[in-house]
Structure 1
Amino acid sequence: MHSIGNEALFDLRKVAFLCSRKFPQEAAEKAYRWAEAQREAGNCVISGYHSPIEKEVLCRLLQGNQPIIIALAQGLNRLDSQWERHLAAGRLLVISRYAQSVSHPCESKCYQRNKMMIDLADTVVIAHASPGGSLERLCSEHRGKVVLL
């Protein structure tokens, strides 16, 4: 695994957050309230922050001071410039299982990234898993850790 940032975040209790790319509006509303509660509680959230809801959850989490782990489905060669101050503050860890030469996520890389996050997390929160999708399949393999919003 490759990483940039505060590796001590691996030692914290972590909750993984995932959501399918297609989702009902009520899932978004629940996810945003959940993100704000995590921010207020100071909980460490790990996610790929890839789907639209996951991206908005990251925006809401970055407004706080709690630890965040970002798991990429590509190499660590293109980091968002807004993450720099959070990396410098020691509250952010960016991880990837892929070499820097891997420049684009694909469905299989996203699936493997999501599996890695579930393995690293103590709890997994799913805002929405599309029926028949890869996230639904992954959740069925890890039922004991998964909580649906």
Structure 2
Amino acid sequence: MNIGSLRKDDPAYPASLRKHLEEQAPGRLFFLGKADLLGHKSLGLFCSIKCPGNIILKAYDLARAMREAGIPVIGGFHTPMERECLDLLLRGAQPVVICSARGLERMRPSREVSEGIQAGRVLLVSPFGPTPRRATAELAQKRNRLVAALADSAFVTHAAPGGKTEALCRGIIAMGKPLFTIDCPDNAKLLALGAKPVTVDDVAHQWCKERSA
């Protein structure tokens, strides 16, 4: 698979990056797969590194519901909960965009990801050239801001109070994008920030509502 790229002045470069990241928008995006998947309205998926046990099963059910509803999902899929959700999403037919916190040159996609790329429903994206060979906390933050800017709305399984994911959620809300989370006491801070509660039963309805807005 050959790595492609989009420069900031390319007509196919996502306008949402210029709008939301402005001068911090990457000068170039590198990708493996069909770049036009970036044109789909997508739901960003995020979760803190540590996720309370009472949220995990609900998150699995919501990931399955997203898959069955055919909702395009974008994320870094780096934290344990995000990776578990990715495994579930890759079993579906909906578009999935995976944003890396390092260069793509030395990446070895899993069989499921490679098959998805070949089928035209999975896209690997990175704002980084070949130099960063390992993901760092700083690069992960930049990657997450990229995901937030590309997504039309976001679903946050859990954000630890005062943590980086919570700060990202504040940024998503500041961008004017809808933010969803699981309605439970552990997510009270997110709900207080303005996140909308979502359940397995209404995730498809909420997505259709936001997509048509």
| TM-score tier after normalising by the smaller chain length | over 0.9
Q: 1:141 maps to which residue?
A: 171
2:141 paired with 1:103:
no
- Pick the aligned partner of 1:57 from 69, 73, 85: 85
In structure 2, the gaps of 5 or more residues are 1-28, 183-213
What are the residue-to-residue correspondences of 1:1-149 with 2, within 5 Å?
1-76=29-104, 77-82=106-111, 83-143=113-173, 144-145=176-177, 146-149=179-182
Whole-angstrom CA distance in 2 between matches of 1:148 and 1:56: 17
The Cα of 1:103 is off from its aligned counterpart by 1.0
The Cα of 1:81 is off from its aligned counterpart by 3.2
Q: 2:5 maps to which residue?
A: none
- Structure showing greater radius of gyration is 2
Relative contact order (C-alpha < 8 Å, sep 6+): which is higher? 1
The Cα of 1:136 is off from its aligned counterpart by 0.6
Give me the identity figure in percent: 36
The Cα of 1:101 is off from its aligned counterpart by 2.3
Alignment: residue pair count: 149
**AA matched with 1:120:** L
The Cα of 1:79 is off from its aligned counterpart by 2.8
**AA matched with 1:49:** F
What CA deviation, in whole Å up to 9, does each residue of 1:66-113 have, x standing for no partner? 110000001102132312111110001000011122111111111111
Whole-angstrom CA distance in 2 between matches of 1:123 and 1:26: 24
In structure 1, the gaps of 5 or more residues are none
> C-alpha root-mean-square deviation of aligned residues, in Å?
1.0
SS in 1 for 2:125: strand
Whole-angstrom CA distance in 1 between matches of 2:80 and 2:98: 15
Query: Moved runs in structure 1, 4+ residues, more than 4 A?
Result: none
Whole-angstrom CA distance in 2 between matches of 1:123 and 1:66: 16
Whole-angstrom CA distance in 1 between matches of 2:141 and 2:123: 20
